[in-house]
Chain A
Amino acid sequence: MVDRGHLGVLPRPTKLADESYLEFLESFRDVLLSKMFPAMAEAGHARMAEDGLDVADPDLPLPVIQNSFGKSPIVPTWQRFMRSQQEMMWRRTRDSFAARADEELAWLKAGEAKGPGRLVIDPDFKVPDYARREIHLQPGGYTDDPLGGIVYHYGTKVFYSGTNDQDELHEELAQLATPPVDGKAGRIMDLGCTVGQATIKLKDRFPDAEIWGLDVGEPVVRYAHARAAHQGVDVNFVQALAEAMPFEDGAFDMVFAYILFHELPLEVIPRVLADVHRVLRPGGVFSIFEFPSASQHLPPAYRFMIDYDSRDNCEPYSPGFVHADFRGMLAEAGFAVADGPACSNGFLQSIVATKL
């Protein structure tokens, strides 16, 4: 089999036909989000007005919104296209890399023994049931497919519509991560790091810091480590729970988390916040880029989309998150909570939480 190599830091699918097919889906998805979603929102809001509803009313029950939206034919069409492109994307991505599974597994194995960074896998670690979901419809989710790392990496290339092929977004977020006011950032955690894209970019920004990436999924941290090792980047990875980090109290100056919390059951979030608070030293900073939560009003079209995403794109926990008082939970955990610097994705909220 011909090794098609990488384009920059992005692995190439096994065949040109896979790459072309997935690039088609990438462009298709981009139109669904950038053109068709606004058209659907406008149509849905117009149906709501015809039904005598106030689009600006934040207390409208979701079924009332869904009833009005359901009267426009663009709505089921958009749902059909979204679901189908996501299924087609994962099928083709997984089949493409599974076709060279032996080579991919050998690459992961070779990475295990390589430095400069460490890979920590506890053989007794048990993945909790709540994390064993096929999030975003990915086969095996983050936890159960040995090829889950590379499949996730290429799948999210499509998710980002080609705008993050060279980890551009992760670079932006790492640049926006807020250091402590005293400027001391000797040890930094990338919490929920998946394949370690932000972890590596944090090392670029803080070259003298000891950097750790932590995730619940063994396939993704193994891939993250192999990827960093083959690039020669000195970052460390550990498979662990964000609510039970294998680090001492006060061990970190900074913790960074990108879209982690909407993937957690609501009851787990306070435990994670308590553990972040524990591992940060006084004055340490937690930088968060995340889905919106209850403190912000969402237009009906976004409420409709988040509900669709939850049920039909396997995001089981995001509705709980977007309706929760996340900033209140941070304050309850003992953080001083402030707005963080905005990033280029206007959907996300940015929070800087400082351990007092």
Chain B
Amino acid sequence: MNDSISKQALGIGEEIDGPGRVYFEQPVIDNLLETMMELAAEVWTIRDRQAVLEKVLADKGIDAAALIEMHVPGADELAERKALREAFVARLLAGFLRRPEGAKGE
């Protein structure tokens, strides 16, 4: 970022950098939806990069897409990937498991 032309230097961006807007009575819902959008944008960005990477490699004679499909994992690799996958699922569902009946006030 060129400092001389940053948003701060120009004093611009009040709309996108300010407190923004809230549309639900419970702002947590606004925040959750925004987080979901940011995550979805990032997931797409990674998928798109993966596709471009495979295309670039294919242009160099490396059929990465096919090599990936044909890859046969060993037992160690399978176990390692399973552990990572289960940890990911646990993180995703952690909130629901901690508060199965919703929030309870003290």
List the A side residues contacting B14 at CB < 8 Å. Answer: 134
Q: How many residues on chain B are close to A (CB under 8 Å)? A: 30
B38 near A: Cβ within 8 Å? yes
Q: Are A139 and B16 in contact (CB under 8 A)?
A: yes
Q: How far is the CA of A98 from the CA of B1 in the complex (A)?
A: 6
List the A side residues contacting B1 at CB < 8 Å. Answer: 95, 98-99, 101
Cβ-defined partner of A88 (8 Å) among B10, B21, B37, B49: B37
A312 near B: Cβ within 8 Å? yes
B63 near A: Cβ within 8 Å? no
A20 near B: Cβ within 8 Å? yes
Q: How large is the interface on A (under 10, 10 to 19, 20 to 34, 35 or more residues)?
A: 35 or more
CB-CB under 8 A for A91 and B16, given A21-B45, A80-B24: yes
Q: How far is the CA of A80 from the CA of B22 in the complex (A)?
A: 7
Cβ-defined partner of A147 (8 Å) among B5, B41, B45, B49: B5
Instruction: Convert B34-46 into 0s and 1s, putting 1 for each residue whose CB lies closer than 8 angstroms to a CB of A.
Output: 1001101110110
Q: Are B6 and A98 in contact (CB under 8 A)?
A: yes
Q: Are A20 and B45 in contact (CB under 8 A)?
A: yes
B7 near A: Cβ within 8 Å? yes
CB-CB under 8 A for A144 and B12, given A17-B45, A24-B45, A87-B20: yes
A84 near B: Cβ within 8 Å? yes
List the A side residues contacting B20 at CB < 8 Å. Answer: 83, 87
Q: Are A134 and B12 in contact (CB under 8 A)?
A: yes
CB-CB under 8 A for A80 and B16, given A88-B38, A144-B10: no
Q: How far is the CA of A87 from the CA of B33 in the complex (A)?
A: 14
With A90-B16, A98-B6, A139-B12 known, 20 other A-B pairs at CB within 8 A are: A17-B45, A21-B41, A28-B40, A28-B41, A76-B23, A76-B24, A77-B33, A80-B23, A80-B30, A81-B37, A87-B15, A87-B20, A88-B37, A88-B38, A95-B1, A102-B2, A134-B12, A139-B15, A140-B10, A140-B13
Task: Please give the residue numbers on chain A whose beta carbons come within 8 Å of chain B beta carbons, in ascending order.
Answer: 16-17, 20-21, 23-25, 28, 76-77, 79-81, 83-85, 87-88, 90-91, 94-95, 98-99, 101-102, 105, 134, 137, 139-141, 144-147, 312, 314
26 A-B residue pairings within 8 Å (CB atoms)? A21-B44, A24-B41, A24-B45, A25-B41, A28-B41, A76-B29, A80-B23, A80-B30, A83-B20, A83-B21, A87-B20, A88-B37, A88-B41, A90-B15, A91-B16, A95-B1, A98-B5, A99-B1, A101-B1, A101-B5, A134-B15, A137-B15, A137-B16, A139-B16, A140-B13, A144-B10
Q: Which 7 A-B pairs have the closest CB atoms?
A: A140-B12, A20-B48, A76-B23, A139-B13, A101-B2, A24-B44, A137-B15
